Structure 1
Amino acid sequence: MQFDQRSPVYLQVIHGFKEQIASRELTCGQEIPSRRALATKLGINPNTAQKAYKKMEQEQLIITERNVPSRITTNPHIVDRVRSELLNEAVIQFVTSMQAIQLPFEEVVTTVKKHLSNKQL
């Protein structure tokens, strides 16, 4: 995972988990590394990993019970919410970029269609 300087590391960790959940790299109920193991793997402070896990618990992305490894939610509605959230973020970023360079709507749509027809989503 590559971290940037624009946002807090714990938020970037959460975003990484969301991307893995949305792409189904992480599946419902799958165990995830301990906070300490994640911190070691990513080269971050254990307190940062703890903060990310706490926030993901609050958002119900992960389930943590005593003496049991944390795991990805089993609630499909939460997974759908994550996918929708990431899609909306990407679309807003794309639309903002297109507005900044003032391309005609039709040209943007034609180009998007062309690229989508060349690739399977």
Structure 2
Amino acid sequence: MEFDTTSPIWLQLVTEFSRRIVTSQWPAGSRIPSVRELAADLNVNPNTIQRALSELERLELCFSERTAGRFVTSNTDRIDTLRTELAQEAADTFITSAKGFGMQPERATQLIRDRWEQIAATASTPPQPQRESK
């Protein structure tokens, strides 16, 4: 993971861990890797990981069980709310950029529809087998 120098690492980790939850990389009810595992994998100080995970607990996205570790919330409504919040943030960024380019709402909406279809088509197309070169 690449970190941005303009915001605190722990906050970037909250964003990354939230993304893992809403994309089901960390499914509802699943055990979250330990602080030590995450610190080693991400090459980050364990205290920074701890701070990010504490924030996830405050946001009710995970909970701790004594001696068993941390787990993603099983509250799928909370996860859906987070998914919507993250999508709204992405939409806000897009809208701000499109307005800055002088784009009208109808054109921006059409652009989103077109790109959605293109990306969906690409994602559903199975990869073609590679031919061996001689």
Same fold at TM > 0.5: yes
What is aligned with 1:76? 76
TM-score by length of 2: 0.84
Over residues 36-70 of structure 1, what are the superposed CA-to-partner deviations in whole Å (9 max), with x where a residue is unaligned?
Answer: 22111111111101101111111111110211121
- Structure 1: how far apart are the matches of 2:119 and 2:41? 33
AA aligned to 2:10 is: Y
Q: Which residue of 2 aligns with 1:32?
A: 32
- Measured on the aligned residues, the alpha-carbon RMSD in Å equals 1.4
Q: TM-score, normalised by structure 1?
A: 0.92
Give ranges in structure 2 of 5+ residues lacking alignment. Answer: 124-134
Greater length-normalized contact order (CA 8 Å, ≥ 6 residues apart): 1
In the alignment of these two chains, the number of paired residues is: 121
2:68 pairs with 1:91: no
| Residue 11 (1) aligns with residue 3 (2) | no
* Cα offset, 1:119, TM superposition: 2.4
Distance across 2 between alignment mates of 1:111 and 1:60: 35
Deviations 1:10-39 (Å, cap 9, x if unpaired)?
111111111111111110111111112211
Q: Which has the larger radius of gyration?
A: 2
Following TM superposition, where does structure 1 have runs of at least 4 consecutive aligned residues deviating by more than 2 angstroms?
104-107
Identity %: 32
Deviates more, 1:98-107 or 1:63-72: 98-107
Query: What 5-or-longer segments of structure 1 have no aligned partner?
Result: none
For 1:107, the equivalent position in structure 2 comes to: 107
Mean alpha-carbon deviation: is it higher for 40-49 or for 102-111?
A: 102-111
SS at match of 2:2: coil
SS in 2 for 1:119: helix
More deviation, 107-116/62-71: 107-116
